[in-house]
Amino acid sequence: MSVQRNTVLLSVLLLVSITSGSAFVEELDDTFMETKEPDEIWLIQFYAPWCSFCKQLDPVWHKIGSELRSLGSPIRVGKSDATANTALAKEFKVRNYPAILMLKNNVKYNYPGSRTKDGILDFADRVSGPLVRSLSSTRLFQHAINRHDVIVVYVGATSELKGNLTAAAEELIVHTYFFSASREVLPKELTLTSLPAVLLFKDGTHFIYDKEQDGELKSWIKRERFPNVFLIDSYTLYAMGESGKLVLLALLEESHLCEESLRYKHLLEKVATEHKETYNRKFYFGFMEGSGYIDGLIMGEAVVPSFIVVNLSNDGYFLPPGPIETERHLLHFLDGVLDGRVEGQGGNDFTQRVRRFVYETRMTLTPVFREAPVLGYFLIGFPLTVGCIFCYLCIKNRPTSADDYEDAPLLAPSLQRKKKLAEKKCD
């Protein structure tokens, strides 16, 4: 009896939790843009009923709505069935599911990160606040440094450089935080030769923007906005394509790293830290758990553990020409990538796109054939059969040359006259 009572109580608590979480997420339809208030800030998820990723995200989304409400956040959380509310989905240019974005002052900000509660909440906090936040004390500066992996700080009075930073923040606020501060707020040991200045803090150190050396400010921030060494997921790796840098990856097991994986990990950290000045402008360094994403890139099965350099700007990659046993071997590999001694593979030309399409089709259909052969043969055979029948009917119904002369007197009168003359001569 006690067990039944506990089961019923647990079911009731679970139902209450789901119901209360749902109360903080509003279902939006095609009238949303007409009925919302101009100053409202919305965090919206577009989903499709058949999308498995959307179903996985749904409980996370309700937790996000509940947490933002409990914090007293002005952000309102909504979701919309993009297959039913097509006008709203078109307004927001939704092309895949689940699509996550924020609407603030009628400006749409797309969320580019992994579908985790912490990642989405951090995005919501970043975008909902000011583009450039003020750091008024050393304590606030230290808090920002401790809380965020990467921050961009403007130091100085109002200037053209600050205007450029604000313009960059309008686009890049979805990725990182922007602050402004006076010189007194920064650590005393930090040396600035002139003001105004823009600094980027990451990996326990800082970088000072130099227009002559670094080029356009926004491009520099795009290149430097990732930590130098960190755990990389597929979303982040894809986003790195716009940085213009290459990425040295150590592919490791998803859990319980073996001794060889630990050696690869330590070797990558050592090179990234001790040779930062040499390779920082050309490379990012990171670890990736598993090889699923890289398998699709190389159209094969990557070895784990192993090293690979990827160029996400053109879907290219570089593999070590030999075993990587020592630091010297890894440095030789990186130098070979930069000076062209290591041949690049992959790419996004027409041939590679066709090969990738064939590979992805094969990888999609292989599990189907394995688990349901009849369905697999139907998926392949039915379109081919329809195509063959269509081609056969087209060929069969194609008119002959004689039929053309008889059926098209207005289009080819000279040909018909020649045909009649030939018939008279034969008679």
How many other C-beta atoms can be found within 10 angstroms of the C-beta atom of residue 204?
Answer: 8
For 324, the 3-state DSSP assignment is coil
Place of tokens 């006008």: 87
C-alpha to C-alpha distance for 206 and 155, rounded to whole angstroms: 13
C-alpha to C-alpha distance for 64 and 158, rounded to whole angstroms: 37
C-alpha to C-alpha distance for 87 and 89, rounded to whole angstroms: 5
How do 283-289 and 229-231 pair as beta strands?
A: parallel
Chain length of the chain: 427
Please report, for residues 81, 138, 145, 156, the alpha-carbon distance to residue 252 in angstroms, rounded to integers and kept in the order given. 37, 39, 29, 44
- The angle formed by the CA atoms of residues 132, 135 and 140, to the nearest 5 degrees, is 130
Active centre residues (catalytic): 51, 54
Taking 3-state DSSP, the helix, strand and coil percentages for the chain, each rounded to the nearest 5, stand at: 50, 20, 30
Q: Where are the beta strands (DSSP E) in 245-334?
A: 246-252, 283-289, 306-311, 316-318
Q: What are phi and psi of 197, to 5 degrees?
A: -150, 155
Look up residue 403 and give its two tokens: 């039929």
Q: Where are the beta strands (DSSP E) in 336-379?
A: 345-346
C-alpha to C-alpha distance for 124 and 103, rounded to whole angstroms: 10
For 340, the 3-state DSSP assignment is coil
Cβ burial of 103 (10 Å; 0-12, 13-18, 19+) is buried
